[in-house]
Amino acid sequence: TPRVFSGIKPSGGLTLGNYLGAIKRFVGMQGQMQTIYCVVDLHAITVWQDPKALADMTREVAAGYLAAGLDPTQSILFNQSQVAAHAELAWIFNCVARVGWMNRMTQFKDKAGANAEKASLGLYAYPSLMAADILLYHATHVPVGEDQKQHVELTRDIAAKFNHDFKTDFFPMTEPVIEGPAMRIMNLRDGTKKMSKSGESDMERINMTDDADKIAKKLKKAKTDPEPLPETLDGLKDRPEARNLVEIYAALNETTAEAVIAEYAGAGWGRFKPALADLAVAKLAPIADEMGRLMADPAEIDRILGEGAQKAREIAQPVLAEAYDIVGLLRS
Ligand code: AQP
């Protein structure tokens, strides 16, 4: 049976990138197949997180899921650390994956920066934990943004090596699902960098909880070149900031970049940016309101995550037990 698994790290407030690249698509897959969506708190702690803020951010990501339309009766929603099998299978995968594979991960290079020696071992091993997240549920589909594609491919390598080393076909080959117009939303101040929760300046990103004034201000100040919008899509080549704003518009409006260009051909930023701000507010404000309402009752969010964790454990435990048997880890 087709089964979807994906997750978001509670490493900061949710961004428009998380919404368009992940949550909106999670909602689209709900009801079509079994869907399991995780708040991956164990991934968040690969860089320092303030403990109190981590708990709050975990609830915020859960609130974002719920407010955007994920329904705990249709999807399994939980936070990773409540299902110990993730960490346990990740250890086995740490022993299957090769150091050379990890050395090729571009996200580690980006995040560790020049000082890789000082990065946590967890940040380096992150893809093993992600492979465990996916393979514990024998997930067949993993909707992710473009930036995570390499990690899903590594998950296939880990599954293949495990199967080969232990002469089994236990772990399936997983497909990353990367499609649609908004797989890589870029930073508003630098169109060559992706929009991130933990980027330096709040002006680089639109947060899912930003109010109308903030959204309008951030888009007004968003970096662009002085040229108006081109007549054809081709004219966006080598204009990363312009292309990003067009792609954001298209994704929010559920249309294509071509259609947006057709509508705004020749328009200046003075016309396009306010139109984009109006659209973003129309789409995000109802979600932000609902997130606010949900976060006012943290106990209810905790209850939903706890119930989801229970359901997740029922799937994950037998898979972990079989993996232990295959490896020869004795349980009595
Ligand atoms: N800018 C983006 N465009 C499209 N998709 C994005 N995603 C994140 N940023 C963009 C997608 O959101 C999902 C969850 O990501 P994550 O939180 O697990 O990790 P991340 O990609 O490292 O997210 P951030 O926002 O950049 O967090 P920080 O700054 O803490 O590292 C993934 O499917 C991702 O592709």
Q: Encode pLDDT of 266-310 as tens digits.
A: 999 999 999 999 999 999 999 999 999 999 999 999 999 999 999
Closest residue by Cα to atom 22, ligand 1, is 196
Q: What parts of the chain have a pLDDT lower than 50?
A: none
Q: What pLDDT is stored for residue 69 in this prediction?
A: 98
How far is the centre of ligand 1, averaged over its atoms, from the C-alpha of 195 (Å)?
A: 8
* CA 10 to ligand 1: nearest atom: 17
How far is the centre of ligand 1, averaged over its atoms, from the C-alpha of 111 (Å)?
A: 12
- Is the CB–ligand 1 distance for residue 10 below 6 Å? no
111 assigned to active site = yes
Domain spans of the chain, in order of start? 3-183+297-327, 202-293
**Among 327, 303, 311, 332, residue whose Cα is nearest residue 88:** 327
User: Is the domain covering 3-183+297-327 a CATH 3.40.50.620 domain?
Assistant: yes
Q: What pLDDT is stored for residue 2 in this prediction?
A: 87
**Among 56, 70, 78, residue whose Cα is nearest residue 209:** 56
Q: What pLDDT is stored for residue 144 in this prediction?
A: 84
Q: What pLDDT is stored for residue 105 in this prediction?
A: 94
197 assigned to active site = yes
Single-letter residue type at 287 = I
Site to substitute for ligand 1 among 43, 147, 245, most atoms within 8 A of C-beta:
147
Q: What pLDDT is stored for residue 332 in this prediction?
A: 87
Q: What pLDDT is stored for residue 181 in this prediction?
A: 56
Contact (CB, 8 A) for 66 and 35: no
pLDDT tens figures, 43-92: 999 999 999 999 999 999 999 999 999 999 999 999 999 999 999 999 99
Contact (CB, 8 A) for 146 and 183: yes
Q: Identify the CATH homologous superfamily for domain 202-293.
A: Tyrosyl-Transfer RNA Synthetase (1.10.240.10)
194 assigned to active site = yes
Do the two domains 3-183+297-327 and 202-293 of this chain adopt the same fold?
no
Catalytic residue among 9, 24, 194, 218: 194
- Is the CB–ligand 1 distance for residue 183 below 6 Å? yes
Single-letter residue type at 20 = L
Q: Return all residues near 61 (Cβ < 8 A) that are at least 6 apart.
A: 8, 9, 10, 14, 39
* CA 47 to ligand 1: nearest atom: 30
- Is the CB–ligand 1 distance for residue 145 below 6 Å? yes
Length of the chain: 332
Closest residue by Cα to atom 12, ligand 1, is 18
Q: Residue 180, Cα to own-chain centre: how many angstroms?
A: 15
Q: What pLDDT is stored for residue 159 in this prediction?
A: 97
Q: State the ipTM, two decimals.
A: 0.96
CA 153/CA 132 separation, integer angstroms: 13
C-alpha pair distances (Å), 130 with each of 40, 120, 284, 302, 331: 9, 16, 29, 23, 25
- Is the CB–ligand 1 distance for residue 64 below 6 Å? no
- Is the CB–ligand 1 distance for residue 22 below 6 Å? yes
Q: What pLDDT is stored for residue 180 in this prediction?
A: 61
Closest residue by Cα to atom 23, ligand 1, is 196
Contact (CB, 8 A) for 156 and 150: no
- Is the CB–ligand 1 distance for residue 184 below 6 Å? yes
